[in-house]
């Protein structure tokens, strides 16, 4: 096992670089196409059947590049949520 020792100044310089890197990564635009698990998490549903129903009724946009791969359009899911949002009084 190796132990790496850093001076306090070097440690905080490294820490700042890591924080800057993570901030830049977060600012990148998210992927447009997401898998079923991510779509279910985004819609806060736990049933694959509910996701399939939304897909079959044409309420959300999807792509099926291969027989067993179904991807969902993130922006379509956001639009679906926005359509069902209730305005405050």
Report pLDDT digits (tens) over 51-70. 999 999 999 999 999 999 99
Give the whole-angstrom CA distance, residue 37 versus residue 51.
Answer: 10
Which residues, 6 or more positions from 55, have their beta carbon under 8 angstroms from its beta carbon?
A: 62, 70, 72
Give the residue among 58, 64, 48 at the shortest CA–CA distance from 80: 58
pLDDT attached to residue 25: 77
The model's pLDDT over 15-49, given as tens digits with 9 standing for 90+, comes to: 899 988 888 877 777 778 999 999 999 999 999 99
The domain segmentation of the chain, as residue ranges, is 33-83
* Other beta carbons within 10 Å of 18: 9
pLDDT of 87 reads 87
Q: Quick one: pLDDT at residue 35?
A: 93
């Amino acid at each position: 096992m190796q132990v790496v020792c850093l001076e306090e100044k070097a440690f905080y310089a490294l820490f700042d670089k890591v924080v800057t890197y993570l901030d830049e990564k977060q600012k990148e635009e998210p992927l447009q196409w997401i898998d079923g698990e991510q779509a279910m998490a985004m819609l806060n549903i736990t049933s694959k059947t509910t996701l399939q129903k939304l897909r079959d009724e044409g309420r959300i946009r999807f792509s099926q590049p291969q027989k067993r791969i179904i991807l969902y359009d993130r922006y379509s899911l956001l639009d679906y949520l926005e359509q069902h949002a209730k305005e405050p009084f």
